[in-house]
A and B are shown apart, each in its own frame.
Chain A
Amino acid sequence: MAGLLALSRAIDRFNEIIGKAVGWLILLSILISAGNAIIRKVLNTSSNAWLEAQWYLFGAAFLLAAAYTLKQNEHIRIDIIYGMFSRRTQHWIDLLGHVFFLMPFVILMISYFTPYFLLSYRSGEVSTNAGGLIIWPAKALLLAGFILLGIQGISEIIKKIAIMRGDMDDPTPFISAHEAAELEAKALVEELKQ
């Protein structure tokens, strides 16, 4: 178990670094989009590459951050019934969900996206829009997103089992969406008082 937990910690750290770093791509995307709009209006020129770069960057951000979002337990659930279960039942739901809902989907997608990406990469596929970008990096991002999600899934399964066996504390204890809303409000209030 100790070895597995070490693996899980390594995965968590890795995905945390990536998940926090990719946020900056959204800022870059915003600047490109605003700049593109202004330049188009003022200079009357535009390029499809700039348009495509925006969703490339956003795609990179949301795909690569999905694993970190999973680690932070931030993928939204409908907790109206889940919230009524005992914590132990919730652990079981999470564990079975990881094993039977998340992992089969992720593994299937990895197995589909690998040839999908390779085909695009080998043929040097380029966007059909005039002056567009090469396409394979976008498809590589989809593959990478699912791979990260897959390894985070492994980490979550390890942690869940460890928590249920009593080998570690629960890093993300259950808070209902409404409690989360109240916590968010408190954080905001703190900030405004500064």
Chain B
Amino acid sequence: MIEFIAQNMAPIMFFSLIIFLLVGYPVAFSLAANGLLFFVIGVELAPLSNGSINLSWPLLYALPDRFYGGVMANETLLAIPFFTFMGIVLERSGMAEDLLDTIGQLFGPIRGGLAYAVIFVGALLAATTGVVAASVIAMGLISLPIMLRYGYDRRLASGVIAASGTLAQIIPPSLVLIVLADQLGRSVGDMYKGALIPGLILTGLYMLYILLMSIIRPKSMPALPLEARTLGSGVTSLIIALIAAGAIAYGAHVWLSPTHGDNADILGATVGTIVIYIIAIADRALNVNMMSRLAQQVIIVLIPPLALIFLVLGTIFLGIATPTEGGAMGAVGALLMAAVKGRLSLDVIRQALASTTRLSSFVMFILIGARVFSLTFYGVNGHVWVEHLLTSLPGGEVGFLIAVNILVFLLAFFLDFFELAFIIVPLLAPAATALGIDLIWFGVLLGVNMQTSFMHPPFGFALFYLRSVATRVPYLDRITGKHIAPVTTGQIYWGAVPFVIIQVIMVALVIMFPQMVMHYKGVVVDPGTIEITVPEMPGLGLPGVPSLDGAPPAGGAPAPGGNDLSKPPSFGNETPAQPAPPSNDLTKPPSFN
């Protein structure tokens, strides 16, 4: 019995972890406690384990170094507080509200226009903040009442809002991608590059769904009536303004390229953007009204977020800043934006810092707990067990990906992405590597999959955020005077279902077309200037921690070695090698003494 336990420590440890976690004590300390308990058991049972347990007391002394070097001195994870702070400040700046109002007016006149506006703004917010709650709540407050007022189908309206809010999870800069990059031992910049195209394609799929529905069931999403277009028409004016901006940008490019070389592209675009922004503001302030009101408003509202996106993603992709620095600059940019709008106060900063500190603290302590767990889990050859389990799945690479995605999809019902990323992902990564799967591709795939966990009923958080802002009681609409029925929870749940299906389709697409992620390799960057602060952090592995009792290191995987010895054919392989020495003899001059 004891021997059975000793030789099956890895599965026993893993299943006790599940129980430890389900009991409901905080995840961080349950992980640590599980790791320590099984460390003690492991050391005691090591002699009975036939060498499958490589644990001894001195190994525990590796913990301080793992916390210091792997958790605290981790410059990748530094991006987490930066982007979190940026997101919270932006949420308070009212940017989302302005965008929804204006873009709603711009797209409103076409059928399904409000839905497109929600998706477009969702993607735009995703590229700046990465906070699901903020996007969903802003849309639920601003767009949902308008959609209900003009007779949008309730399921469709709530589904599109919940789903668009979750785009923040997959479109860079998202926290999920940072954590996944760290755990997979890849650079955040590559992960962002890899996720960008799938994120945009997913946004396109949402829009495609709206387009299809507007053809199949046109009544489910009417165009805004004339009296609802408060900014008036004036799309022509907007198009002319955009063409003018493009012309200015091109002119600046031509003018600057002799002196600034490659930078002229960006500088030209910057000049064009700034000029049209200043013209729009001056046009409105001086009441010249050269442009239509719609054009003014769209330009004034859209350019600051676009500038912020450039400040963060642009500098990261161009290799000017590391993702961590991009986050810091975005945070400063968000502070400036909130200040310009008169929404910045000491209290806002204090609250944003409090939320950021709280999130950082629990996330980093989950990582600390996970380090304790992994120290023991690797010591009992848990990684070998998991790898063997996963690589022996039928279907090779595709079979593995499908199985893992189903597993993550199911786990995401009750684990949030931090827990998945810190506990499950490090176990999957070695198996993925063994199968020759690119880890960025794997990470993006998991990212799209985990995004689903925000919207599948009944646990998805986006649905809860929407539920809490959607009306529960009937009310009289103050503009049309119509009677508006409450939005039921059932409508919110059913509304999310088509988008969950789209999500599954997207996972399949990423599996079938890896090139939409793989392009990240194509961009050659100068490592001398950029990679300074992006160390390749090992995941939860055990490098550099030799087991101190003289046993082979934990990563040494004794199992394959044992297999080789047990195979008779290995002698057969040696025999052909035998004839070699005699041939050497022939080349030598004979030395018969």
B-binding residues in A (CB < 8 A): 19-20, 22-24, 26-27, 29-34, 36-38, 41, 46, 51-52, 54-55, 58-59, 61-63, 65-66, 68-70, 72, 74-83, 85, 90, 93-94, 97, 100-102, 104-105, 108-109, 112-113, 116, 138-139, 141-142, 177-178, 181-182, 184-186, 188-189, 191-192
Contacts and interface: CB of A to CB of B under 8 A. Distances in A.
A54 B361 contact: no
Interface in B491-527: none
20 contacts: A29-B81, A33-B328, A34-B331, A34-B332, A37-B328, A55-B72, A65-B358, A74-B362, A75-B29, A75-B361, A78-B24, A79-B24, A81-B24, A109-B64, A116-B68, A181-B133, A181-B465, A185-B464, A185-B469, A188-B133
A188 B315 CA distance: 31
Interface stretch (B273-281, B347-355, B576-584): B347-355
A46 B469 contact: no
A185 B465 contact: yes
Contacts of B325: 33-34, 36-37
Nearest to B133: A184
Contacts of A69: 357-358, 361-362, 365
Interface centre among A85, A138, A192 (most CB of B within 10 A): A192
Contacts of B72: 55, 59, 63, 138, 141-142
Interface stretch (B89-97, B193-201, B254-262, B385-393): B89-97
Interface stretch (B8-16, B414-422, B428-436, B548-556): B414-422
Contacts of B63: 109, 112
B26 A97 contact: yes
Given A62-B360, A181-B133, A189-B141, 16 more contacts: A23-B357, A30-B81, A33-B325, A34-B325, A41-B320, A51-B75, A61-B360, A69-B362, A76-B416, A82-B24, A93-B24, A97-B23, A105-B36, A141-B72, A178-B464, A185-B465
A135 to B, nearest CB: 9
Contacts of A105: 29, 32-33, 36, 372
B85 A138 contact: no
Contacts of A113: 64
Contact of B357 (A19, A85, A142): A19
A78 B74 CA distance: 26
B476 interface: no
Contacts of B111: none
Nearest to B25: A97
A75 B27 contact: yes
Interface in B15-35: 20-30, 32-33
Contacts of A23: 350, 353-354, 356-357
Nearest to B416: A76
Closest 3 CB pairs of A and B: A82-B24, A33-B328, A97-B25
B137 interface: yes
A94 B25 contact: yes
B437 interface: no
Interface centre among A23, A66, A97, A109 (most CB of B within 10 A): A23
A168 to B, nearest CB: 21
A78 B27 contact: yes
A117 to B, nearest CB: 9
B414 A191 contact: no
A94 B30 CA distance: 11
A143 to B, nearest CB: 9
Contact of A26 (B85, B321, B416, B459): B85
B592 interface: no
Contact of B324 (A54, A94, A97, A181): A54
B-side interface mostly: helix
A113 B60 CA distance: 12
Interface of B: 20-30, 32-33, 36, 60-61, 63-64, 67-68, 72-75, 78, 81-82, 85, 91-92, 94, 97, 133-134, 137-138, 141, 315, 320-322, 324-325, 327-329, 331-332, 349-350, 353-354, 356-358, 360-362, 364-366, 372, 414-416, 418-419, 459, 461, 464-465, 467-469, 532-533
B357 A26 contact: yes
Contacts of A188: 91, 133-134, 137
Nearest to B138: A192
A61 B82 CA distance: 13
Contacts of A32: 328
Contacts of A54: 75, 78, 324
Contacts of A142: 64, 67-68, 72
A138 B36 contact: no
Nearest to A191: B92
A29 B85 CA distance: 12
Contacts of A139: 64, 68
Given A58-B360, A189-B137, A77 B24 contact: yes
Contact of A185 (B27, B32, B137, B350): B137
B345 to A, nearest CB: 11
A193 B20 CA distance: 42
Contacts of A191: 92
B360 A100 contact: no
Contacts of B461: 177-178, 181
A30 B137 contact: no
B29 A101 contact: yes
A32 B328 CA distance: 8
A141 B73 CA distance: 12
Given A26-B357, A80-B414, A101 B30 contact: yes
Nearest to A97: B25
